[in-house]
Amino acid sequence: MAKHLFKKGQAPGPGRPKDSISRRSLQFADVMIKAGFDPAKGLIEAYNNAKHLFDTALDPAMKATANAQMLLAADKMAPYVYPKLSSVEFKKENPLDNMTPREKLEAMRQAIKMLEDEVEKSNSEPNLIDVGK
């Protein structure tokens, strides 16, 4: 198995730093700016055109197409406005995990006693369904 040539904390070597923009991306952005094209404005314009079509169309198929276009444009614009949701792991701790077997047994006895009291109480209360008979 090959050993790593780098020590902990040492830079991984030459190359473009993380999160920096590549030369090719910068060149492409420059071409778009010179051409007067703004992708955000283009998406907004596409959304507005689709909305106008949706509002004025009489044909249900045309309305469905316009609605799909609006959804697509909104979907493409959303990451610029709203952060992505991240997944969160939820772990509910079981209180019995931290108990000894004797403590668990006592907790179960108390739970059974509470249930028995509840059943006894419900048997002593008049049943509204039986009262009408």
For the record, the structure tokens of 69 come out as 């276009």
pLDDT higher at 1 or 27: 27
pLDDT digits over 9-53, tens only? 666 666 667 777 888 888 888 888 899 888 888 889 999 999 999
pLDDT digits over 67-87, tens only? 999 999 999 888 888 888 888
Distance CA 68, CA 101 (A): 60
Whether pLDDT at 2 is above 60: no
For the record, the structure tokens of 42 come out as 């283009």
* Coil, helix or strand at residue 129: helix
